[in-house]
Structure 1
């Protein structure tokens, strides 16, 4: 396909993806009152707990409109994610082999529910995080939370959790691309668990360990699931390499025993 045709195809896919985001934003705009009430609910819960005024503050005449636009666009991107991810897949598909197309479709099909699952978990964690942070307000003081700052905080939390849940997709993609073997991921499982719990401790600033564990366990399970997929893939690659007379991924041949790093064979 010539360069001009590629550019025309890219323009077409970007246009269709933009239409999907706009449609999702329009739907979010229609249901903005319900969405805003849900966003504000953690602050209302904190206000009842403290028996003090904790509410959003719109600093400016255009601030309410600005916030509604940002909320609509943010939700529009999330709601329409299957559509614009499909447009991305449709653009890169012509340059891929049949097997690569299947891999790309599988990666995109797994990425969407995982990202949304992370966002849902973030929504569950959000009230606990807001409650703890509001507790630092000195006694007798009123916490008027800037609406734009609060919206940015909510967006960042949901994005961070969504991206964290994409870890298994990245692991499997690197493995299928030959940039990371299952043995590598297996050796690093302790680091993965430590990072998962550290992330959970930072992302859920609550004093109880139950919330931290509830966040870390799904990430660890996703890591284990991705490791299992990598193991199965590496076994298929090893069988194919052996049939072609090539060494296995660990550098050994069928008549040799695999050796760990730092050890030697007699």
Structure 2
């Protein structure tokens, strides 16, 4: 053990030290994002072809030209903004392990050993859930666009700008990914003791309604995307509630008073202790 650790066994830091640490972590994360954006610059054409594929899969009757892949540009800066968004999108994905580690390194000293163990499990799981949500949004997009464009008259042409389409794809993939991670945050809050299972069960109907409401807000005005997001959200929240139930039951077995609030009175044994028994009054027939 180092001398610094012996002097400060709880690894406490003043506020200014925390702010300096946060600034250093954010700086490193920004450098990682910039370097990831450089990678995005070199793979821009490949990534754009992948992002454009759902639009290219639309029926010919719903595209601008018979080839089905025409996106128009309406301003001189559209090309640069589209390229910049793709660079940033790739940069965030490529550098995700590094900037997630910076976030973890800032938060980890405040966690207990058990919480750190769970975090090592949940961090990769969060990444998998985010990727799963983004992939689902990618495949749902073509179905959603087909339904939306299906309301057009037969003689209408689909003039979709390149910026609008890219924004639509990034928002859909990002919102689906974040939506899939939210139930995991509920489980983490339960592990930390902030959100007990009783509170989750009490608000179950509100959570289900909110899942459909949020899905309807962040997805286009058609049922396919809404159901594709809302139904997995409800299932994941139910799994998070089941985890919270099992975790709270385990805590109660290990510590029967773990679920009590600070101002709540615990249940006392009704039987008299030996000292109380010997000091009972004469009316009980016991020795005083």
User: Which range, TM-score by smaller chain?
Assistant: 0.7 to 0.9
Corresponding position of 1:22 = 34
CA 179–97 in structure 1, closer or farther in 2 if over 3 Å, else same: closer
Corresponding position of 2:131 = 116
Aligned positions, number = 251
Alignment of 1:211-226 (within 5 A): 215-226=229-240
Equivalent residue of 2:151, what SS? coil
Corresponding position of 1:130 = 145
Corresponding position of 2:255 = 241
Q: Distance in 1 between matches of 2:266 and 2:44?
A: 62
Q: Distance in 1 between matches of 2:19 and 2:195?
A: 33
Alignment of 1:176-215 (within 5 A): 176-196=191-211, 203=219, 206=222, 215=229
Corresponding position of 2:179 = 164
In structure 1, list runs of 5 or more residues that go unmatched: 257-266
- Higher mean C-alpha displacement, 80-89 vs 191-200: 191-200
Deviation, 1:141, is: 2.7
In structure 2, list runs of 5 or more residues that go unmatched: 1-12, 270-288
Pairwise CA RMSD: 3.1
Alignment of 1:1-266 (within 5 A): 1-46=13-58, 48-50=60-62, 52-53=64-65, 55-196=70-211, 203=219, 206=222, 215-242=229-256, 246=257, 248=259
Deviation, 1:215, is: 4.5
Q: Deviations over 1:155-183 (max 9, x none)?
A: 11112111110122221123223333223
Q: Distance in 1 between matches of 2:200 and 2:45?
A: 45
Check conservation: 2:54, 2:138, Cα contact below 8 A: no
Q: Distance in 2 between matches of 1:221 and 1:207?
A: 18
Check conservation: 2:260, 2:266, Cα contact below 8 A: no
The TM-score with structure 2 as length reference comes to 0.73
Check conservation: 2:62, 2:157, Cα contact below 8 A: no
CA 195–105 in structure 1, closer or farther in 2 if over 3 Å, else same: same
CA 142–213 in structure 1, closer or farther in 2 if over 3 Å, else same: closer
Deviation, 1:123, is: 0.7
CA 131–6 in structure 1, closer or farther in 2 if over 3 Å, else same: same
Deviation, 1:29, is: 2.0
Q: Distance in 1 between matches of 2:92 and 2:176?
A: 16
